[in-house]
A and B are shown apart, each in its own frame.
Chain A
Amino acid sequence: MTSKLLNEIVEKIRKELKGKGILACSGGTDSSVLAVASKLAVGDQILSIFVDTGLIREGERERVELFFKKFGINYKILDESKLFFEKLKGIVDPETKRKVIGQTFIELFEREAKLSEAEFLLQGTIAPDWIESGGKNRDTIKSHHNVGGLPEKMNLKLIEPLRDLYKDDVRELSEELGLNTSLQPFPGPGLAVRVIGEITGEKVEILKKVTRIVEEEIESSMKPENRPWQYFAVILPVRTTGVHGDKRSYGNTVAIRAIDSTDAMTGTFHKFEWDFLEELSTKITNEVPSVNRVVLDITDKPPATIEWE
């Protein structure tokens, strides 16, 4: 017996979708719930699309493809890392990064919509996204790309069935549908907002390795319910001196960000044990030699946001 909430979502999709639709699926909790709900609602009438921007974590693409297969979802994977890196060349301002990425996503989806003759785009936008995107009175804290980045003249009709739901509502749906519920939230623009300053292939590769180490160390030492709401790394445009085996080095700095929250609206930085932090830092600097300094972000939200950009 499906829950009232799931039925509402399924009905909304059936009511609003006319003809074919495409669905922006990042493999995160929100869009995955939407992809499975859409399969229940209208089967293969919707094509779920995962865009490999090159700004995603190690193994992300493989994980998402497994998810599509496991739930029998009609899917397509776009390999567009070259395009995104070109579009982001030389861009430093965070809001511009988000807008450029958002627009590139939309251009890709418009192209794919034409290919599959779909007029509708389904997106997993949930309540906190549209709050932070600045409405009439709200200050634009950060335009979440799946809302803020939408160019005005988008000729795809948008369906956002999760628009009034909070993270905890979506988690309930995720449990009901048998999805992996211990996925931490991952931003739409991906690692682009965790490379502070200009994005280069080299920095992204470093960040991917450090991110994997942070996730592995935390996920292997903590049960899902004890893990921070979000835990990740940020690579800073700061080089500092180091000494590697009696040789002077001039390496990269990464920051660890781990925050406790229930719905991302507020948060307190996670208080790790000192020994855990020392092991984590040593593992990072050993396995990623170009990083010779690891710092910890100890700022709550507010005044800081969870992500750095």
Chain B
Amino acid sequence: MKIYVVDNGGQWTHKEWKVLKKLGVDSEIVDNDINFEEIKDSDGWVLSGGAPSITNEIPKLGRISEILDKTSVPVFGICIGAQFMALHFKGEVRASPIPEFGKTKVNFFNQGGIFKEIPSEIVVWENHNDEILSISDDFKICSNSKNCKVQAFYSDKKSMFGVQFHPEVENTQYGTEMFKSFIEYCRR
């Protein structure tokens, strides 16, 4: 069982790798501009956070669109990873009128996918200047906050999941549970 962490340059990419290791899964960090088809043994992909802006620095996200087009295994997008997923599947992204940093309360509703067990309100750790406005309707939005409409979304059909916040830091409640549920999806 191996889950790859695709590095978009986030300062917590190393933590995403560490959480997977701690949950007993083999993991490896790979750059986002490699040829993903060469990786044959991936049971799941985590698309890391990163500093590039989704609004004008897409080239810095390398070839991750190839994963979203061709993969048959689950994908978990975090922060800019999630924003890119939204954009890739014809959603809208923009610079946040009110960016969110650090401790933030988010609401969860019609929970599903890896978010099935998440309570209706939790504290998470944010670190974003851009945000998702909308996403195609084969995804379900299941979380928002006062200043940001899309904090989490999922598609059971595609087994793809995205979060604007950072489940890999311990300040985010239920972050490890989200990774655990994602691993279950990768096991199927």
Number of A-B contacts (CB under 8 A): 49
Distance between Cα atoms of A166 and B14 in the complex (Å)? 10
Pick from A131, A135, A265, A303: contact of B169, CB under 8 Å: A265
Give every chain A residue within 8 A of B31 (Cβ-Cβ): 136-137
Residue from A137, A262, A265, A303 whose CB has the most chain B CB atoms within 10 Å: A137
CB–CB B127/A137 < 8 A: no
CB–CB A303/B51 < 8 A: no
Give every chain A residue within 8 A of B13 (Cβ-Cβ): 131
In the complex, how many angstroms separate the beta carbon of A172 from the nearest chain B beta carbon? Answer: 14
Pick from B9, B60, B127, B171: contact of A135, CB under 8 Å: B9
Task: Name the interface size band of chain A.
Answer: 10 to 19
Distance between Cα atoms of A238 and B132 in the complex (Å)? 41
Give every chain B residue within 8 A of A300 (Cβ-Cβ): 101-103
CB–CB A137/B102 < 8 A: no
CB–CB B14/A127 < 8 A: yes
Interface check A103, CB cutoff 8 A: no
CB–CB B7/A137 < 8 A: yes
A265-B12 contact given A166-B18, A302-B127, CB 8 Å threshold? yes
In the complex, how many angstroms separate the beta carbon of A240 from the nearest chain B beta carbon? Answer: 29
Interface check A212, CB cutoff 8 A: no
CB-CB nearest in chain B for A128:
B14
Interface check B63, CB cutoff 8 A: no
Give every chain B residue within 8 A of A302 (Cβ-Cβ): 101-102, 127
Interface check A181, CB cutoff 8 A: no
Pick from A127, A137, A141, A262: contact of B50, CB under 8 Å: A137
User: What is the interface of chain B, defined by CB distance below 8 A to chain A?
Assistant: 7-15, 18, 31-32, 50-52, 60, 101-103, 125, 127, 169-171
6 residue pairs, one from A and one from B, having the closest CB atoms: A137-B9, A139-B51, A303-B101, A300-B102, A302-B101, A138-B9
